[in-house]
Structure 1
Amino acid sequence: MNVRLTRRSALGLFGLSTLAACAPSTSAPTPAGTEGLKDDGVKEFPLTSWSYNEAVTKQPMTDAIAKYTSANAGVKITTPSYPYNDYLNQLLLQVQGGQLTGAVQLDVAWLATLAATGKLLDLKSVATGLDYAPAALSLGQSGGAQYGLPWTFAGIGLISNQELLTRAGVTAAPKTVAEFEAALTAVKGLGGGVVPWAGMTKVDQLKDIIPWMWEFGSPIVQDGRIVIGDDGSVEALTWYKKLYDQKLIAPDVNRVDARALMSQGKTAFYEDAIGGKATVTKSSPDKDLGAKMVPVARPVKNAGDKPRHLAWGQVIAVVNGAGAAAAANFAKTVTTDRAYTIDWFTKTGLPPTTNAGLADSAVKNDKFATDFTAQIGANSSASPFWIYPQFSQMEKVLAEEVQSILIGKKTPKDALNSARDRMNALIK
C-alpha cells in the first residue's frame, strides 16, 4: 500500500479526531496558573525525560538542545533522565517533593496523574495561535487546562516481519483473529527458536490486553465504572491464554524483549509505537530489516469489525518554579518549529503534531509512517483508564490479574472479576 498523506488526511490518519473525543478529562486541582510563565529572568532549567536515557533518542535530543541553546543566548538546559518503566514514579516523587521544575517529557497517559499534583502550569496562553492540529492539542489537556504541548502522536499496534511470514507461507496480513491464529501456527512451524508473536506476558506491560478486550466486545469502562469480567473481556483472555498455552506467544516478554526478538529476526509479530522501528533497526544485525517491517491493523473478531488500538503520544509540560517561562518557550519551539520537528521525525520516526509538520514531504514520503498511520493511527483510542489519576495503579491491578490467568492460578472469569472489584475500589 502506498498512502499519500495530504495536509487533511494526515490529521485523520494519525487518529487525532478519535483522540479528541477520548481526551483525558478529570477534576484535577486548579493548575499552578500562568504566573509562572512571566519571564523571571532565569534562563537555566532542566528538561526531564526518558528519551535522554535511550540510545535511539539520546543523540537527537542532544542535537535539539544544542541547536536551541546556540540560538538563544544565555540559555542552559540540564538533562535529568530516568528509564521509561521507572519514569512516572520518579517524576511524582520529585514533583511532590518540590525537587523538580522546568520542562518534562510526558507520556499522554500520565497527564491526569501529574496534573493532580497541582504543580503543572497551564500553557494555554503559550499554545494560543500556534499551528497545532486542534485534536493534537487535546493531547495536553486535562480538567479544562492545557497542561502540555503535544510533541508526537500515533498509536500502538502490530508490526510484522514480512520475510518470516513469507517463509511460513503467509501471503496476506491477517484481518481476523482466526486468520491471525492460522498465521501464528504457520510461523511456529518454522522452528529455529522463532516466537510467532512477541505478545506482552510480563506484568509491566500487560496493559496491551486492553485493545484485545475491545476487539472482543468489552467496553472496559461504562458509566464511570470498570465492567471487565463481562463476556467480551473473558472471551479475550480465554483466547490469549490459549495462544500462551500453545506457545504461539512466549512467557516473560515485555516491550524491550519483543523489540530484541524483532531485531534478531526471531518473531513475526510484535506490538509497538511508531518510533519502535528506529530502536529495532538500530540494534539489528540485518541492515535490511526496516524494509521487512510492515504495520498491520489489529485483527478483529468478526470480518467487518473496526480494528482498535491504544493511542500513544508525548507532550512537554512545565512544572512551576524558577525558569518556567524559559522552559515553556523551549517546549513551544521544539514542538512547532519545523527546523526541530522534522529533524526529530527524520532521526527518530516520531511524527510531528502541527499541520505544517504533518504536511511536510519528509512525513508524506515515508512509507512506514504512512502505512502505520493508515493501519494503526487511524483507529487509535485513549485508554479508558487515563481519565483517572489512579490509572497506573489500575493498570497494575489489571496486569497482575491477567498474569494470574496466564500462569494458571485463576480462571479468566475469576481474575477479571477480581480486577474489576479492585480497580473500582481505587476510583475516588
Structure 2
Amino acid sequence: MTKITTLMATALAAGIFTIGAAQAADLSFMGYSYAEESAKPSVDRIIDGFTAKTNLTVEPIGTAFGDMQKTLFLRARSKTLPSVVQISERWLPMFSTLPGLVDYNDVFGKDYLAKTYAPEALAMGQVDGKQFGLPLMSGSIGMVANQAVLTKAGITDVPKTVEEFKADLIAIRDAVPNSVPYAMATKNNSDILVDFLVWEYTFGAHVIEPSGKVVVDSDASKQALAFLVDLMKERLVAPEIGRPDARRLVGQSAAAFYLDAPQSRTFLRSFSGQDKAFDVNIRPMQVPVVKEGDEPKSIQWAHLIISFAQSNPPTKDDANMQFVNYLGDDAVETQFPVEQSALPGTISARANPVVADDAYLTAWAQNNTHPLANEVGTWSNGGELTDILAEEVQSALLGQKTADEAITSMGQRMAGSMTKAGFPQ
C-alpha cells in the first residue's frame, strides 16, 4: 500500500485529472491480477515487454479484487487516480462517471476498435454509446467439476438437471469425508451475487428489468432461493465460503463443484500444487437445468481496461494510451489471457492456434454458449443492490428468514434503492 501514497496528481486541468508527470514512472497500472500470486508474474512480463518496446516505465499497483471499487473511488476523491486500471465488466457503469475517464472511441476510433476486438467482448466495455473499457480477456461465469472427487463418489458423468445435481451432491457428501460437495459462495457480497444470479436465471427468474423495474419478488426467485436453502440444510454447501475458498477446496479435491470464470484452471493448478498435471481433473460443464431442454445459464464475464486522461484531450501518444494499445497486441493477448485460462479480447488472438487449439478453452466455450448480463452490477447503485441481495440470501441460508420472506424483503429494499437512483417503481 505504500505505492498508493506516493502517487500524486500533477494538475487539475479543464476538469480532468492529469496523472503521471509527478510520478517516477511514466504511468501507473492498478489491477487485481497483480495482487494474485498466480497472475503477478504474467503482469510483470507484460510490463517488461512494454518497457522494452517503448522505453516507457510502468508502476504496477496490486489491489485485491474485493477492494478495487472502494479503492478507486477513494483515489478519485483524493485526486490520485492511476493512469490505467483493470476492472470487472460489471463495475463499468459505476465507474463511468469518474473524472477524466477516457472514451477510447475518441482516441483510437470506433472502426479500428471494431476491427480489433471481438464484438461481444467489446460490447461489455460500452456505456451510453461510449467505449470506456477495452477487453483484456473475456468469457463467462459457469460451472466447473473436479473429476477426481466425482470418481471417489462413483459418479461417472456430470449432472444435467438440478435433480441429478442434488443427488450427486448427496453421494459426494456421503462418500468423501469432510468435503463441501458444492463450494457455493456464501460470503463476500460480490461472490454471493454472482452465484445467486446463476441460480435465479436457471429457475427462470430475474432481478431487475432493463427499464430499471425490480422484479425479483417472484415465485421463480423464491423457488431458486428455497433450493439453495435446502442444499444448506442437507450440508451440501457450507457457510463462510467465498470464491477464493471455493478455488482452494476444489483444487485440493475437497469439493466437487463451484462457479467461476474460465480462469478457474489457473487457480486450480496453483491450489492443487500439481500445476498442469491437475488439468485431467478440471472439467468445465453446463450449469444443471431445472428440466431437460432448458437453456443452461451462465453470466457474462470480462476483465476490462479503463484509463484516465493524461492530456486534454487524450491522444494515442500519451504514455497510458500507448500501454492500452500494447495490451491489445498479440504479444499480450496470446500470453496473458491464455496463462490465466481465459479467452483473449482481440479477434486475431482468438484465431491464434495457441488459443484455438486449447481443449479447455474450447470446452468452456461449448458449455457456456449464451452468457447473460449481470442484472445487478451494471447499475450506478450496483454496490448497494449487491449488498441488499447478499444480505437477504445469507439471512435465508442461515435460517433467519424463510426463502419467501428473504425474497420479499429483497424486492422491497431493491425497489427503494432503484427509486432513489432515479428509477421509479
Within 5 Å, give how 1:28-67 maps onto structure 2.
44-67=26-49
d(CA) in 1 for partners of 2:16 and 2:103? 9
Deviates more, 1:384-393 or 1:407-416: 384-393
d(CA) in 1 for partners of 2:100 and 2:185? 34
TM-score (norm 2): 0.88
Partner of 1:122: 103
Identify which of 185, 199, 202 aligns with 1:212: 199
Letter in 1 for 2:292: A
3-state DSSP of counterpart to 2:27:
strand
Asked if the contact 1:158–1:295 (Cα under 8 Å) also holds between the matched residues in 2, the reply is yes
- String of CA shifts for 1:311-359, please: whole Å, max 9, x gaps: 1101111113469621122112212x11111111342222211111111
Asked if the contact 2:136–2:337 (Cα under 8 Å) also holds between the matched residues in 1, the reply is no
d(CA) in 2 for partners of 1:110 and 1:80? 19
- String of CA shifts for 1:365-399, please: whole Å, max 9, x gaps: 111111111112x1211111233111121011100
Identify which of 359, 371, 381 aligns with 1:380: 371
1:303 aligns with 2:292: yes
Q: Cα gap change, 1:203/1:414 in structure 2, threshold over 3 Å: closer, same or farther?
A: farther
Partner of 2:8: none
Identify which of 310, 320, 323 aligns with 1:330: 323
TM-score (norm 1): 0.87
Asked if the contact 1:101–1:322 (Cα under 8 Å) also holds between the matched residues in 2, the reply is no
Cα displacement (A) at 1:165: 1.0
Partner of 2:381: 390
Letter in 2 for 1:276: S
Aligned residue pairs total 393
1:159 aligns with 2:150: no
Cα displacement (A) at 1:116: 2.1
d(CA) in 2 for partners of 1:393 and 1:306? 30
d(CA) in 2 for partners of 1:45 and 1:278? 28
d(CA) in 1 for partners of 2:215 and 2:135? 31
Letter in 2 for 1:277: R
Whose relative contact order is higher, 1 or 2, with alpha carbons under 8 Å and at least 6 apart? Answer: 1
Asked if the contact 1:153–1:352 (Cα under 8 Å) also holds between the matched residues in 2, the reply is yes
Within 5 Å, give how 1:27-106 maps onto structure 2.
44-73=26-55, 75-106=56-87
| Gap runs ≥5 in structure 2 | 1-12
Cα displacement (A) at 1:147: 0.5
Letter in 2 for 1:86: D
d(CA) in 2 for partners of 1:190 and 1:229? 37
3-state DSSP of counterpart to 1:199:
coil
d(CA) in 1 for partners of 2:82 and 2:15? 15
3-state DSSP of counterpart to 2:343:
coil
1:399 aligns with 2:400: no
1:409 aligns with 2:400: yes
Cα displacement (A) at 1:88: 0.8
Letter in 1 for 2:47: I
Asked if the contact 2:198–2:299 (Cα under 8 Å) also holds between the matched residues in 1, the reply is yes
Asked if the contact 1:152–1:314 (Cα under 8 Å) also holds between the matched residues in 2, the reply is yes
Partner of 1:202: 187
3-state DSSP of counterpart to 2:223:
helix
d(CA) in 2 for partners of 1:33 and 1:60? 36
Asked if the contact 1:151–1:314 (Cα under 8 Å) also holds between the matched residues in 2, the reply is yes
Within 5 Å, give how 1:280-359 maps onto structure 2.
280-286=268-274, 288-321=277-310, 325-335=318-328, 337-359=329-351
3-state DSSP of counterpart to 1:283:
helix
1:184 aligns with 2:169: yes
| Gap runs ≥5 in structure 1 | 1-31
Asked if the contact 1:152–1:313 (Cα under 8 Å) also holds between the matched residues in 2, the reply is yes
Asked if the contact 1:264–1:284 (Cα under 8 Å) also holds between the matched residues in 2, the reply is yes
- String of CA shifts for 1:175-211, please: whole Å, max 9, x gaps: 1100111111111121321211111111432111012
3-state DSSP of counterpart to 2:157:
coil
Deviating beyond 4 angstroms after TM superposition, the runs of 4 or more aligned structure 1 residues are: 32-37
d(CA) in 1 for partners of 2:307 and 2:169? 45
1:271 aligns with 2:259: yes
3-state DSSP of counterpart to 2:238:
coil
d(CA) in 2 for partners of 1:114 and 1:170? 45
d(CA) in 2 for partners of 1:49 and 1:33? 27
Asked if the contact 1:214–1:220 (Cα under 8 Å) also holds between the matched residues in 2, the reply is no
Asked if the contact 1:34–1:122 (Cα under 8 Å) also holds between the matched residues in 2, the reply is no
Identify which of 246, 252, 255 aligns with 2:240: 252
Letter in 1 for 2:162: V
